Amino acid sequence: MKSLPRSIERLADYFSSLPGIGPKTAYRLVFHLVHSPREHISSFAEAINALTKDIAFCGVCRNIMSSDNTTCSICSDEKRDKSTILVVEDILDLFAFENIGTYDGTYHVLGGSISPVQGIGPDQLSIDLLTKRLKTHTEEIELIIATNPNLEGEATGMYLKKEYSHMSNIKISRLARGLPSGADLEYADFSTLDKALLGRSEY
Amino acid sequence: MKSLPRSIERLADYFSSLPGIGPKTAYRLVFHLVHSPREHISSFAEAINALTKDIAFCGVCRNIMSSDNTTCSICSDEKRDKSTILVVEDILDLFAFENIGTYDGTYHVLGGSISPVQGIGPDQLSIDLLTKRLKTHTEEIELIIATNPNLEGEATGMYLKKEYSHMSNIKISRLARGLPSGADLEYADFSTLDKALLGRSEY
């Protein structure tokens, strides 16, 4: 924008680098902050900076954790079932499951999905770590593939299935596909309806 | 969210204190940042902190400016017509006019609008400063009221009109009301259509 102080422009650029925030919203956020008390602005800055110091990733599953720890709260929880690993793309997906509160196994966070278009191959994901993790186990393990039900997520799932299907102690499953709860059948897309029909179960 | 490091929760709280950002979006932003390079995170924090040091408000019109200056770039511009003052609620409104590039007068930023519901009276706005500013002028001045066309904006406009109508050298005008460019007449609300009809001009 015309004749704005450089520090405003600079912060607006940082805000618009965040997902879902366009240049107009970025300026709105900056101007909102400008009118906030100085202490609030400083602590906001501090809270962002804290990410570089206080946050680390679990060496077992790549979940987020406080940098004081060596493994995340889930991996170090004695009560969690270590023979089940739910593989998700993202930490937010992990917390989506944690928030239901019914899953008591462990996780593996891939850190994305295979996407040739975006230049993301298996090497950019934490698949190596998962392979290493599986190789240390000799007992039965269930690997639940919970990648997103889209092109990239499916490709990632297929890749994992191919990668581990030769390991006899690993059972690979994946999330059910069908109608979401509360959906209106009339508005369901072809693929969802098709999967719901194929995956029908006894009533 | 369950079992998240405290610094994640804290930053998510700061993000959700921004306008238009709910708790879910806030977490998305935090997790996006977590995966950014450390230098990016640090400079983002720095850019926010810079607001507390580099930014000040113009002593004449309350526009935003770099704290190195004493008046903003518009007030200190010799070429701007000092006999016209466009009164806006917000700095973003000022930049909306600046971006058109046709207005060559000065501005006055109120810093909000009168809203008894939110406990904002004339004293919370920069009306005192505007009064002082008008009193130093003896020549003709046009005050263009450009508050938002909603309840609070109208109330603020009315207040200003009452406040300054006794000053003989001040001409008070306000922005035209009518159909916005590109609008579909069929979808215009009652008030807009009514104002468009009342304010009709010769063709």
Nearest to B66 among A5, A48, A64 (CB): A5
R_g over Cα of chain A? 22
The Cα–Cα gap between A17 and A8 comes to 14
**CB distance from A48 to chain B under 8 Å?**
yes
Distance (Å) from the alpha carbon of A11 to chain B's nearest alpha carbon: 5
In chain A, % of residues over pLDDT 90 = 69
Q: Is the pLDDT of residue B188 over 90?
A: no
B25, A20 contact by CB (below 8 A): yes
- CB pair distance less than 8 Å for B54 and A5: yes
Under the banding of pLDDT at 50, 70 and 90, the label for residue B133 is: very high
The nearest CA of chain B is from the CA of A118 a distance in Å of 16
Indicate the SS3 state at residue A189: coil
* B8-58 confidence digits (pLDDT tens): 999 999 999 999 999 999 999 999 999 899 999 999 999 999 999 999 999
Residue closest to A137 by CA, chosen among A162, A160, A168: A168
Query: A174-187 pLDDT, tens per residue?
Result: 888 888 888 788 88
Q: Which residues of B touch A16 (CB under 8 A)?
A: none
CB contact under 8 A, A7 and B35: no
Asked if the Cβ–Cβ distance from A49 to B42 is below 8 Å, we say yes
Residues of chain B numbered 61-80 and touching chain A (CB < 8 Å): 64-66, 73-74
ipTM of the complex: 0.79
Q: Which two tokens stand for residue A82?
A: 């270590």
Beta-ladder partners of A196:
none
- Sorted by sequence, the CB contacts under 8 Å of residue B121 that are 6+ apart come out as B114
Percentage of chain B exceeding pLDDT 90? 69
To the nearest whole angstrom, how far is the Cα of A198 from the nearest Cα of chain B? Answer: 33
Task: Name all domains of chain A by residue range, CATH numbers in brackets.
Answer: 6-56 (1.10.8.420), 64-202 (3.40.1360.10)
Nearest to B156 by CA among B174, B176, B181, B134: B174
Q: Is the pTM of this model over 0.80?
A: no
Of A3, A40, A51, nearest to B34 by CB-CB distance is A51
- Give the separation between CA A156 and CA A172, rounded to whole angstroms: 13
Mean pLDDT computed over A45-74: 93
Residue A2 has pLDDT above 70, yes or no: no
Task: Look at residue B1 and tell me whether its pLDDT is greater than 70.
Answer: no
In this complex, which of A33, A38, A48 lies closest to B11 when CB atoms are compared? Answer: A48
The crossing angle, in degrees rounded to 10, of helices B38-54 and A23-34 is 50
pLDDT tens readout for residues A61-103: 999 999 888 899 999 999 999 999 999 999 989 988 998 888 9
Give the closest-approach CA distance of B189 to chain A in angstroms.
26
Structure confidence at residue B103 (pLDDT): 92
For position B202, what pLDDT does the model report? 77
